[in-house]
Amino acid sequence: MIVAIDGPAGSGKSTIAKKTAEQLGFVYIDTGAMYRALTYGYLQAPIDCSKKEERIAFLERMKVGFNQKNEITLNDIVIKDEIRTSEVSEKVSYICSFPEIREAMTQLQRELAKKHSVIMDGRDIGTSVFPNADLKLFFVADSKERARRRQLDYLAKGIEKTVEEVEKEIVKRDELDSSRELSPLCKAKDAIEIDTTALSIDEVCEKIFLLVDERKGA
């Protein structure tokens, strides 16, 4: 079974997808972390992304994956906080915009889902990666609330930013993700929208459990 969760930054995708997967015994695949890992690699050894040959060479030397603990790895090295910096956040939409990079990540994501029931979150899972997913969800939330959540993530890593600063970053990321030509952030026609603004994590998870049960019984 494939559950696809899409939505903008800070809408709760990763937190809820991870917890739901644990409860259901599904494999959780954080596609955002995959793109962030590539972006981190790019920042370590910048390439000229305007040149196709450099993008292809970059992909050939950057191996993104997950270890047995489901931790994201780049060239078999676990990376955690490194991919959650503001520098990575500022560049990830840019890196995601190139067709060779999206194609490589899409194929990898499809391979990861072949052997297990999965919950996969991102921005184009239900529209591009798995258009035939068993259950498609699209999370939304007020931009101020999303900024507050992201600010807490930053503070936990020792990064101090105001809610207003984070909200500006999020709105800019929304614009970039929604307007890009290739696999833009958008709600699939058959996706169920969930507004997480005023809901707790457990409340959203419970909604998903019920929807998964419905699909299993269909």
52 is in an annotated binding site: no
- How many Cβ atoms from other residues are within 10 Å of residue 139's Cβ? 25
Helix residue spans in the chain (DSSP H): 13-24, 31-44, 52-61, 86-96, 99-112, 143-156, 163-179, 201-217
14 is in an annotated binding site: yes
Is 185 in contact with 126 (CB distance < 8 Å)?
no
184 is in an annotated binding site: no
Q: How many angstroms separate the first and last alpha carbons of the chain?
A: 12
Q: Which of 141, 110, 126 is closest to 3 using CA atoms?
A: 126
Helix residue spans in 45-161 (DSSP H): 52-61, 86-96, 99-112, 143-156
65 is in an annotated binding site: no
7 is in an annotated binding site: yes
10 is in an annotated binding site: yes
41 is in an annotated binding site: no
| Structure tokens that stand for 182 in this block | 């290739």
> H or E element: which one contains 84?
none
- Binding annotation: 7-15
- Binding annotation for ATP: 7-15
